[in-house]
Amino acid sequence: MTNPLDHVFAALADPTRRAILAMLLEDDMAVTDVAEPFSTSLAAISKHLGVLADAGLITRERRGRVIWCRLEPDSLRAASVWMQGFGQFDPVDLDAFERFLEQELDATSE
Amino acid sequence: MTNPLDHVFAALADPTRRAILAMLLEDDMAVTDVAEPFSTSLAAISKHLGVLADAGLITRERRGRVIWCRLEPDSLRAASVWMQGFGQFDPVDLDAFERFLEQELDATSE
DNA sequence: GACATATTCAACCAGATGGTTGACGATAGC
DNA sequence: GCTATCGTCAACCATCTGGTTGAATATGTC
């Protein structure tokens, strides 16, 4: 009834969550470390991580006291295929991608 | 403050709106014709079209009594670049895209 | 001008969303 | 066992969202 794409796109619609994904692109992170650069509460970030996990965009694994978050890029495949089908865009332009990430991270820290 | 990507992804998060975009992929359409296959009210579809227009995904042009809706695929480019940057996915797989569209349109008519 | 068609607007409603704070459960270290 | 740390849960709040219905606006036709 609810399409997986619903959850993926809804998860991506929030700038905080996109910033979190960008951070996880670098490396796996503990929840506390994910929350550190944001001015919102840890509980709010925990909720965001829940939304990302429900969409399949990340997985969380407890190791001792710490819960590690890992990006699951394959979960974006369906959504990416959907969008490419509309635009028939050029192949991956990583320079443009870098620019977007910087722009978004700047906006986050404002 | 609000990123354009926010609006694009939020617009794509709704299955009715994705179905509308798929319909417009075929050809430009009048608002009434867009609404026809859906069981919701015309006013609801009009709101969806407003969301899509705000995100830049469609444009609307009045010609006489009728307002024509046109897909603006270029507006997906930024979002597509963002996603491809994460997944480094294969180039466009149009077969997979067709399957998604069919799946979504089936779900819409249920 | 009167009427029909096409579309939006306004007011409303129920439910989701993103945020907060404070309490709670789980684990590590002393 | 006590205590500090990591993270979630629960309750609450304001705002957004997707839907409705009925009125309003704009255009075409007679």
* B39-48 confidence digits (pLDDT tens): 999 999 999 9
Out of A73, A96, A107, name the one closest to residue B86 (CB). A73
Question: Is A30 or B84 the better-scoring residue by pLDDT?
Answer: A30
Average pLDDT, integer, range A59-67: 95
Tokens 């006013």 -> residue: B43
Cα–Cα distance, A90 to B101 (Å, whole number): 21
Residue B55 in 3-state DSSP? coil
CB contact under 8 A, A104 and B79: no
Is B95 a residue whose pLDDT tops 90?
Answer: no
Q: Which bases of chain C come closer than 7 Å to a protein CB?
A: 5-10, 17-23, 26-28
Exposure of B27 by Cβ count < 10 A (0-12 exposed, 13-18 middle, 19+ buried)?
exposed
Both tokens assigned to A86: 């509309």
Q: Which of A31, A66, A36, A26 is nearest to A52 (CA)?
A: A31
User: Which nucleotide is nearest, taking the CA of residue B43 and each C1'?
Assistant: C8
Supply the mean pLDDT for chain B. 84
Out of B5, B6, B97, name the one closest to residue A81 (CB). B97
What is the structure's pLDDT at B70? 96
- Looking at the DSSP bridge assignments, the partners of residue A63 are A66
Q: Which of B79, B27, B21 is nearest to B49 (CA)?
A: B21
The model's confidence at residue A98, banded by pLDDT at 50, 70 and 90, is low
Residue of A nearest to B71 (CA): A86
What is the structure's pLDDT at B13? 96
- Looking at the DSSP bridge assignments, the partners of residue A62 are A67
